[in-house]
Structure 1
Amino acid sequence: MPVSPTPTRRWLLAALAAALAIPAQAAPRPPLVLAAASLQESMNAAADAWARLGHARPVLSFAASSALARQIQSGAPADLFVSADEPWMDAVDKAGKLAPGTRVAFLGNRLVLAGAAADRRTVPLDRAGPLLAAIGQARLAMADPDAVPAGLYGKAALQKIGAWDRLAPKVVRAENVRAALALVERGAASFGIVYATDARASAKVRIAGIFPAANHPPIRYPVARLKTAASPDAEAFRRFLIGARGKAIFARYGFTPL
């Protein structure tokens, strides 16, 4: 019996179909970019800016960095990969999929606790007590803490303050950080651990607290060109992203240029 494709697989197939559907007379073929879910607004803005310079607009596919990395490891063709952490880029590198000399960590972010916009509570996150009291018997939304970067950062931060063991049974695991944010937006979880840029992108949530940066691994977004890159614009778009104009776009959405 055939197996239905996963949501991530469907997103990637749709992106590939869009890239391959470019008419033969349209040259060059735009880059296909696999990017972390937290980059949706900012990467679309960067793609729009690139198109305004006279280039074909890149085709963008967003999902958890873990899911995208696994797709690349399995041989999925793409031009650029932008991960929300270094370890998943390491995994792709170890699989021999990166074009040598093209990997650059170019963005940073902050990890926050997001609650409903109507919830005006402020929660200190340098110790366990206030967070445990705020959540009580409610649910905490997180990207999968065993695989997805935002979840891994969040788990590390909770372990640092001694809250993980008590909160783990209350965690609602989401496929990616935007899915975790959506759970808070819908009221399915009282709070969610997301990036500051995710909370900023939604009018339905507010930041209840910011995790100390020292309590989790540094949040660093690397980008690299893949060996499967076929678009002649791939390297130029990578350089645009890591250059001054690209970083300025991401800064407008709350990212920290590195």
Structure 2
Amino acid sequence: MPHLRRLLVVPLSLLLLGLGAIAAPAWSEDITVFAAASLTNAIETAAQQYEEKTGIHVRLSLASSSTLARQIAAGAPADIYISANEKWMDWLNDQGVIQSNSRQDILANSLVLIAPANSTTPPTDITKSTKITDLIGHDERIAVGDPDHVPAGIYAKQALTTLGQWDAVNPRLARADNVRSALALVERGEAPLGIVYRTDAMISDGVKIIGTFPADSHPSITYPIALIDPQDGDAALKFLVWLLGDDAATIFADYGFDAIATTVTITPDTAAQ
């Protein structure tokens, strides 16, 4: 017989106030978070701090947003999903997988052009008159997350298209499985240039930023977060709320992310099972 399952419904502000009053032993389950590869360093630090604070272990699965979304849709046991773009969160929502009323935009980022740290390529003002292919040799390629499915690559294609450079750059791309793999190609000197998020460049001593793509050349780079079919009173909800709070915002800012103000209430959501 179908039964009703209710999501814990509390205003975000009230939950944030209550976090400090809940003893760690009351939170018995671990949390599994599927997060975009570009969040690797920041979310690892956040998970470690949260575990130290609460005693709750946060398991992380880090890969391209598209790979993670497909795994979740296929039944992978994720509690929380953080995507590097809206597209893959929308796709999961269309599959009826995420708890749609828990969805929030949590962070923002920007898109940059990078070169190896020892490169002599000068800083570049990226405009419609900039010919990016002139910055590389005849047989060289530009590293990027695969524009067919990796969010950073999708943003790169949108920016290059807006700037009138996609047709010239497309054949010269070294397509990587995720943005961190694109970063690694530049770090190792296997590609003279790469297109990554600003936050990826900031965590690497092996690359330098030589240009920033205009903000109006691509859609805003936002990271949505949502619960995946949580249980009543689930620890995952508390962790999601913590990630929207000031402590986590400080961690994300240290890694170069821009916080997005959240002034919402998680509303009732009761579903027949």
TM-score of the two chains, using structure 2 as the length reference: 0.82
Task: Quote the residue 2:38 is aligned against.
Answer: 38
The 1:158–1:136 alpha-carbon spacing in structure 2 relative to 1, beyond 3 Å, is: farther
Deviation at 1:74, TM superposition (A): 1.2
CA deviations over 1:36-83 (Å, ceiling 9, x no partner): 000011001111111121232200110000000111111212100000
CA distance in 1, matches of 2:129, 2:154: 18
Identity of aligned residues (%): 43
Q: Shift in Å at residue 186 of structure 1?
A: 1.1
The 3 A distance-change label for structure 1 pair 102 and 188 is same
Whether the aligned pair in 1 keeps the contact of 2:93 and 2:100 (CA below 8 Å) is no
**What's the CA shift for 1:127?**
2.2
Task: Give the letter for the 1:170 counterpart.
Answer: R
User: CA 1:230 to 1:142, structure 2 compared with 1: closer, same or farther past 3 Å?
Assistant: farther
Question: Which residue identity does 2:128 align to in structure 1?
Answer: R
CA pair 231-33 structure 1, distance change in 2 beyond 3 A: farther
Distance in 2 between the 1:147 and 1:100 partners? 22
Paired residue for 1:87? 87
Aligned to 2:29: 29
1:215 CA displacement: 0.1
Distance 2:233 2:188 in 1: 39
Indicate the residue corresponding to 1:68 in structure 2: 68
Contact kept? 1:124, 1:131, Cα under 8 Å: no
Query: Whole-Å Cα distance in 1 between the matches of residues 49 and 130 of structure 2?
Result: 45
**What's the RMSD between the two structures over aligned residues?**
1.7
Provide the secondary structure at the position in 1 that maps to 2:164: coil
Deviation at 1:232, TM superposition (A): 2.9
**Count of matched residue positions in the alignment of Structure 1 and Structure 2:** 234
After superposition, the Cα gap between the structure-2 partners of 1:65 and 1:231, relative to the gap in structure 1 and judged at 3 Å, is: farther
1:52 corresponding residue in structure 2: 52
**Aligned to 1:183, what secondary structure does the other structure show?**
helix
CA distance in 1, matches of 2:232, 2:92: 18
**Contact kept in structure 2, 1:143 and 1:151, CA below 8 Å:** yes
**Corresponding residue for residue 108 of structure 1:** 108
Alpha-carbon separation, structure 1, partners of 2:28 and 2:168: 54
Q: Which runs of 5+ in 2 are unaligned?
A: 1-24, 261-273
Higher gyration radius (CA): 2
What secondary structure, in the 3-state scheme, does the structure 2 residue paired with 1:87 have? Answer: helix
Secondary structure of 1:202's match?
A: coil
Q: Give yes or no for contact 1:78–1:229 (8 Å, CA) kept in 2.
A: no
Instruction: Point out the structure with the larger strand share.
Output: 2
Query: For structure 1, which runs of at least 5 residues remain unmatched after alignment?
Result: 1-24
Q: Secondary structure at the match of 1:53?
A: helix
Secondary structure in 1 aligned to 2:115? strand
Matched-pair contact (CA < 8 Å) for 1:79–1:228: yes
Compared CA separation, residues 230 and 166, structure 1 to 2 (3 A): farther
Flag the 1:238–1:153 CA change in 2: closer, same or farther, 3 A.
same
SS of alignment partner, residue 125 of structure 1: coil
Q: Give the C-alpha shift of residue 130 in structure 1.
A: 4.0
**1:53-202 map, 5 Å:** 53-120=53-120, 121-137=122-138, 138-202=140-204
- For 2:219, give the aligned amino acid: P
Distance 1:230 1:201 in 2: 37
**Paired residues of 2:114 and 2:211 also in contact (CA < 8 A):** yes
Task: Using structure 1 for the length normalisation, give the TM-score.
Answer: 0.87
Larger mean Cα displacement after TM superposition, 40-49 or 230-239: 230-239
For residues 124-168 of structure 1, what are the alpha-carbon distances to aligned partners after superposition, in whole Å with 9 as ceiling and x for unaligned?
211243422212422100101011100000011111111111111
Work out whether residues 174 and 180 of structure 1, in 8 Å CA contact, stay in contact via their aligned partners in 2. yes
